[in-house]
Structure 1
Amino acid sequence: MVQNKFLSQLKDQLKELPEADRQDILYDYEEHFRLGLEEGKTEEEIAASLGQPKAIAKEVKAEFRVKEAKSKPSFESVVKAVLSTVSLGFFNLIFILGPFFAVVGVLLSIYAVSIGLLLSPIAVLFGWEQLGGSANWLMGLFSIVALLSAGVLLGVASIVLTRWFVRVLIKYLQFNVNIIKGR
């Protein structure tokens, strides 16, 4: 009865995962029980040595989300990986969530400055028209080119920084999950 209850609880906790992955995980834990019973252990001893199904499911989901974010890095998959890793403990709340939001805030501000620089030539043109259009046309043209160039360069830099941040974040999340799993 203990084995069935354990596997049932684990299956319920893993319902977010794809069916094939969930079946593989459940098969692994069925094997743990089978091997333990062959060694003469009771179902209660085996279940106690494996831990709580809820804790196991959190670790498995975190590992799955990190692998998913690594294979298909998108905003949604990275956020899911961060949140599932944060759920593993208070330590992660401090050392993952805080820095994650700080870096995301910095990246968003860099994107905003880039967009501002790309849109600012409109203000230069509008100001130029207010001055009659003839005064310092060369200075206006230089300002437009400089603002557009700075906006494009900062935009490209922010894209490169974002990609780098996602790669580093995924590696850190993998490291964190491995530490929690004892690897």
Structure 2
Amino acid sequence: MTRDEFMGRLRRGLVGLPTRTAAEIAADYGQHFDDGAADGRTEAEVAEALGDPDRLARELRAEAGARRWDQEQNPAAAAGAIFGLIGLGAIDILILLPIVFPVFGAVIAMLMTGVGVFIAGGFALVVGPFFGGPGGVLAAILFGIGLMGLGLFMIGLMALLTKWLIDATVWYARLHYRVLKPALEPSNNRSQD
């Protein structure tokens, strides 16, 4: 594979990363070709040593997504980290999805329930005193405040649990990738023995 073919495939694989990040990565891998040429190696030898540019791009995208999640921890960064890591372990995802979807689904359902309880508490706080229920106006106000507090607690707890689950997913994917990486790479060591 020539330098242009390798770099073209690598750049196509990096589409979606911030332009500056993709340019830095491309420049770094371009430097590998320059160093190889200075050492008297052909472009094909350097490209073979670097590996498959498509797989390399997936790995770099996944690592960039995980680093972004470590730095920003917002919904966009979480999605980027999870989708980047999904690209690395497509087969593993088939095993992980039956576990992950119900857990994330339950957390999202509880988060939405917390929002609903908070809204119901606000409604009870505003409208409750006008209905003259048992305990009077004070009981209606306290009931509304209590429901709003419960809703806030549920929202905060589920937001924290969501963050922990995303951290655990990123940790698992990084660990899994480190364990499987030697098995996925071509066996250069065996050919040298």
TM-score (norm 1): 0.74
Whether the 8 Å CA contact 1:86–1:97 is kept in 2: the answer is no
Pair 100,27 (structure 1): closer, same or farther in 2 beyond 3 Å = same
Helix, strand or coil for the counterpart of 1:87? helix
Q: Distance in 1 between matches of 2:31 and 2:55?
A: 19
Alignment of 1:35-54 (within 5 A): 35-37=35-37, 40-54=40-54
Match of 1:19 in 2: 19
For structure 1, which segment, 167-176 or 154-163, has the greater mean C-alpha deviation from structure 2 after superposition?
167-176
1:75 equivalenced with 2:54 (yes/no): no
TM-aligned CA deviation for residue 34 of structure 1: 3.9
Whether the 8 Å CA contact 2:124–2:143 is kept in 1: the answer is no
- By relative contact order (CA 8 Å, sep 6+), the higher-ranking structure is 1
For structure 1, which segment, 117-126 or 65-74, has the greater mean C-alpha deviation from structure 2 after superposition?
117-126
Match of 2:147 in 1: 147
Match of 1:160 in 2: 160
Match of 1:172 in 2: 172
Query: Which amino acid is 2:157 matched to?
Result: A
1:10 equivalenced with 2:10 (yes/no): yes
Q: Deviations over 1:113-155 (max 9, x none)?
A: 21232233436956982xxx26443765664454333223223
Pair 151,49 (structure 1): closer, same or farther in 2 beyond 3 Å = same
Pair 64,179 (structure 1): closer, same or farther in 2 beyond 3 Å = farther
Equivalent pairs, count: 179
Match of 1:102 in 2: 102
Q: Distance in 1 between matches of 2:89 and 2:134?
A: 64
Structure 2 gap ranges (5+): 183-193
Whether the 8 Å CA contact 2:36–2:46 is kept in 1: the answer is yes
TM-score (norm 2): 0.71
Q: Distance in 2 between matches of 1:14 and 1:102?
A: 31
What is the root-mean-square deviation of aligned Cα atoms in Å? 3.2
Structure 1 gap ranges (5+): none
Query: Which amino acid is 1:119 matched to?
Result: I
